[in-house]
Structure 1
């Protein structure tokens, strides 16, 4: 079975660590990778043509390039057009949800208050979205 890659773009150290722990509890069959900014992620995506994660989660509020700008840039990369991109934010503002959907976000997940909630949200998401089987099935 091919190992899938879950890529988180988030400038908050604690949020990255919590996400990684929750992901590990949900599945040990997924590789976790991270970037601390939209700039870092875009440099990696554009600098490595052979690198395409299976899932991308993006924090909405980041310095330099915010989540919406990062999402728009990712969606311009042809090999990423079928990759689920999830906005992962503390904001539940309807405008943010609507804006990111229009930009191509697959889903919008509110950062939960507990590890158990995050694990449940990730479990639900991964059970609904399996890009490799859909793309190559």
Structure 2
């Protein structure tokens, strides 16, 4: 049975990218596969918009490093945030900054990612919120 983890510390997108490389991480293959299946069920972006069904495809999303804001950069932070949730390091009801909960931050970021009308500034705001307050 696949359930959320009980981690106390969240990982950055770069740390999750390292976890996707075989033999490099502390998270087992089975556990990572479990987490990816939880993300697929919880997220509207994955795997519909961004492919991440396997360790390898998730690694490609997480290893995106271009400084430009955009869909791929938001995908990276979104996937890391969802993995932190699956890992147990973040709860959807937890306040991440001010009155903003993880659930509302994820909902806003996913809505912006799925909308073809989100501005670059909106994408950057979502990337920044996830990077600074969730994936650290």
TM-score scaled by structure 1?
Answer: 0.28
Between Structure 1 and Structure 2, which shows a larger proportion of strand residues?
Answer: 1
The higher relative CO (CA closer than 8 Å, separation ≥ 6) is in 2
TM-score scaled by structure 2?
Answer: 0.28
